[in-house]
Amino acid sequence: MRKILVAGNWKMHGSKAMVDALTRGVLEGVESTPAVDLAVFPPNLFLGQVQALAEGTRLNWGAQTLNPHAEGAFTGEVSAAMLRDFGCRYVLVGHSERRSLFGESDADVAARFEAAVAAGLEPVLCLGETLEEREAGATEAVVARQLDAVIERVGAAGFAQATLAYEPVWAIGTGLTASPEQAQAVHAFLRNKLVALDGTIGGQTRILYGGSVKPANAADLFAQEDIDGALVGGASLTAEDFVGICRGAS
Residues at the site binding ligand PGA, with contacts judged by CB under 6 A: 9, 167, 172-173, 210-213, 231-235
Dist CA 78 CA 69 (whole Å): 9
For 178, residues 6+ apart whose C-beta sits below 8 A from its C-beta are: 168, 171, 186, 209, 211
Dist CA 196 CA 182 (whole Å): 22
Residue at 82: amino acid letter? M
Nearer to ligand PGA, 129 or 201 (CB): 129
Dist CA 134 CA 114 (whole Å): 28
Nearer to ligand PGA, 120 or 173 (CB): 173
Residue 65 CB, shortest distance to ligand PGA, in Å, is 12
Dist CA 89 CA 91 (whole Å): 7
How many residues are present in the chain?
A: 250
Displacement of CA 219 from its chain's centroid (Å) = 18
Dist CA 103 CA 206 (whole Å): 26
As to burial, measured by CB atoms within 10 angstroms (0-12 exposed, 13-18 middle, 19+ buried), residue 151 is middle
Residues designated as active site: 95, 167
Nearer to ligand PGA, 201 or 230 (CB): 230
Nearer to ligand PGA, 197 or 238 (CB): 238
Residue 215 CB, shortest distance to ligand PGA, in Å, is 12
Residue 173 CB, shortest distance to ligand PGA, in Å, is 4
Residue 12 CB, shortest distance to ligand PGA, in Å, is 12
